[in-house]
Structure 1
Amino acid sequence: MAKHRIFTTSFASVYPHYITKAEKKGRTKAEVDEIIRWLTGYSQEELEVVIEEKTDFETFFAEAPEMNPSRRAIKGVICGVRVEDIEEPTMQEIRYLDKLIDELAKGKAMEKILRTT
């Protein structure tokens, strides 16, 4: 079975869309970056390198320094699919990120988005 197209899409090509979505709702690039760092464990410098090198999504998640264990608390529907029910691990990671960006754009507090107690 062929890989989904998003796996070979560069993270850098989608990243500006995350920022635009957030900024349209009064949120910031810094908040988008904070979410990405929280989810993946990348430092800001590492994130900037990934973007500059146009790393694809599959590699972006495969090489993430430390996926946040609290990401399993992310629940809900994205693109008509419940994120907690997605069986393909990389696709689930991508959809977790999509869900977090959606929550940001919907005005949710960062503490709730980052699942802090």
Structure 2
Amino acid sequence: MKVTPEHNARIAKMKFFSVYPHYITKVEKKGRTKQELHQVIEWLTGFDEGKLQDLINQQVTFETFFQKAALNPNAHLIKGVICGYRIEEIDNELTRQVRYLDKLVDELARGRKMEKILREEKK
């Protein structure tokens, strides 16, 4: 599917705090924990639990959420299809970053090993 400008605008204006409970429900329903979700979010964005809670309390949009993030340098390794979109083909940076997060949450819920989700190098 091709990402439209309207889709990008809708993603930018979505509130992170309104989607966050769905992330928790999705991972917990599959036997994963809120702590694992936070670990994944921190890996991608650099936000620890305190900063994450601040952003939730401020009811920031995804646009603000990712403007404040220090995106992991290995985020570009997140590939595949999520919500019908091939991540590596999304040309809008913000939409791609939101889909990175969606993909990580999906991988967590599917039971993928944490070191695979966090794209850790083999030593």
Q: Which residue is equivalent to 2:76?
A: 72
Distance 2:56 2:31 in 1: 23
Query: What is the identity, as a one-letter code, of the residue corresponding to 1:87?
Result: D
Aligned pair partner of 2:50 in 34, 45, 49: 45
Q: Percent identity?
A: 53
Per the normalisation by structure 1, the TM-score is: 0.95
Query: What is the identity, as a one-letter code, of the residue corresponding to 1:70?
Result: N
Aligned pair partner of 2:63 in 58, 65, 69: 58
Distance 1:100 1:114 in 2: 8
Cα-to-partner distance string for 1:11-65 (whole Å, 9 max, x where unaligned)? 000000000000010001111111111100112111110011101100000111x
Q: Which residue is equivalent to 1:4?
A: 9
Distance 1:79 1:11 in 2: 17
Q: Which residue is equivalent to 2:29?
A: 24
Per the normalisation by structure 2, the TM-score is: 0.90
Q: Which residue is equivalent to 1:13?
A: 18
Deviation at 1:4, TM superposition (A): 2.3
Distance 2:30 2:84 in 1: 22
**Where does structure 1 lack aligned partners over 5 or more consecutive residues?**
none
Distance 2:88 2:73 in 1: 14
Aligned pair partner of 1:106 in 106, 110, 120: 110
- The count of residues paired between Structure 1 and Structure 2 equals 116
RMSD across aligned C-alpha pairs, in angstroms?
1.1
